[in-house]
Amino acid sequence: MIVTLTANPSLDRTVELPSELKRGTVMRAERTAQDSGGKGVNIARALKVSGFDTVAVLPGDNEDPVLMGLKEEGVEYTNMPTGAAIRSNITVVEPDGTTTKLNAPGEPLNGAAQQELTRLLIQETHDASWLVLAGSLPPGVQSDYYSVVGRAIREALGEKAPLIAVDTSGHALRDAVNGQDGMPNLIKPNSEELAELVGRPDEWEELEGNIELTARTAKELVERGIDTVLATLGGEGAVLVTRDGAWHAKHEPVQVRSTVGAGDCSLAGYLIAHEQGKSVEECLAQAVAHGSAAASLAGTQVPTLAQTAPDKVTITPVSL
């Protein structure tokens, strides 16, 4: 079983336009949709639709539309009531796949609420193989929260503690990587996040176009103690680095409809293959296949395992 924590969930509203976005004008949408969202929620949805056991842990009231959406999709969840509506995020998608996101900050969580959320997480994680800590942190939550949670899980569960994956950005990612006791087993940065983690933020565009440099940069984080770095590179696929080596994966071209949630689905694909006992290379191939399938779908839809095509992914070892 895989447990996800989404500390700052959202109701994701997607607006598809028939033409290029024109600022300052009135435009009519070609299609609209709304889905329960937030990185951990998206990962749980992707796992569920492919038949894998998952529990999403998140703050939110019982009747909130986000929780109602999870219930309709059959995603098991444990929620912590807050007395406030979960934020709404807006995504505008143009015909060529250009995506503009407007994300609300979310409702604050005080210290007592954070402790309760951590308690619920420990309760749900007893039999888990993976714990995924994903997404932004809401106002009032310190940037080292994921590190604090990782440490609490390991102290509470000892040898039964699950592997921990972190998918976030900014200070939350930096502090998760720097917190030794709560250090994750796996992180999934993009090029910009990877460059920031190693203290060279101006290199991110160079990383996206240079597979060898990306792999060497990710290796710096593996040498710090992280088992696996899955660096996503948009249309260039992804690079996976472990203590045993490095690999690059790229999917055959797909028609991009929306990139929202594609990175989340990449991590879900990796976890699915890992749960199936697949090799490192096969886990990477499934990650890229899942991300590509998600990008070909509208809005924040998540692909089933059957909709992915890992056989269309090329895997190449990278020299370090």
Q: What pLDDT sits at residue 130?
A: 98
Supply 73's token pair.
């999709």
Q: What pLDDT sits at residue 5?
A: 98
What pTM was computed for the model? Answer: 0.94
Q: What pLDDT sits at residue 56?
A: 98
Q: What pLDDT sits at residue 128?
A: 97
Among candidate residues 229, 194, 226, the one with its CA nearest the CA of residue 210: 194
Q: Are residues 63 and 173 in the same domain?
A: yes
Tell which wins on pLDDT, 205 or 37.
Answer: 37
Q: Which helix (H) or strand (E) holds 88?
A: strand 88-93
Q: Which of 26-30, 64-68, 140-144, 256-260 has the lowest mean pLDDT?
A: 256-260
With 80 as the cut, is the pLDDT of residue 4 above it? yes
Q: Which domain holds residue 195?
A: 188-320
Q: Are residues 66 and 169 in the same domain?
A: yes
Q: What pLDDT sits at residue 204?
A: 81
Domain end point (choices 184, 212, 234)? 184
Q: What pLDDT sits at residue 232?
A: 93
Mean pLDDT score of the chain, rounded to an integer?
94
> What's the CA dihedral at 259, 175, 287, 277 to 10 degrees?
-160
pLDDT tens-place string over residues 246-301: 999 999 999 888 788 899 999 999 999 999 999 999 999 999 999 999 999 877 78
Q: Are residues 5 and 154 in the same domain?
A: yes
Q: Which of 79-88, 290-299, 308-317 has the lowest mean pLDDT?
A: 290-299
CATH of the domain at 81: 3.40.1190.20
Q: What pLDDT sits at residue 208?
A: 76
Q: What pLDDT sits at residue 74?
A: 97
Among candidate residues 60, 61, 36, 33, the one with its CA nearest the CA of residue 46: 36
Q: Are residues 164 and 226 in the same domain?
A: no
Q: Are residues 70 and 203 in the same domain?
A: no
Q: Are residues 17 and 143 in the same domain?
A: yes
Q: What pLDDT sits at residue 115?
A: 96
Q: Are residues 177 and 214 in the same domain?
A: no
pLDDT tens-place string over residues 138-150: 999 999 999 999 9
Collapsing DSSP states into helix, strand and coil, what is residue 98? coil
Q: Are 128 and 44 in contact (CB under 8 A)?
A: no
Q: What pLDDT sits at residue 242?
A: 97
Mean pLDDT of 2-13: 97
Q: What pLDDT sits at residue 269?
A: 98
**Number of domains making up the chain:** 2
Domain end point (choices 184, 210, 235)? 184
Mean pLDDT of 94-118: 93
Q: What pLDDT sits at residue 299?
A: 73
With 90 as the cut, is the pLDDT of residue 161 above it? yes
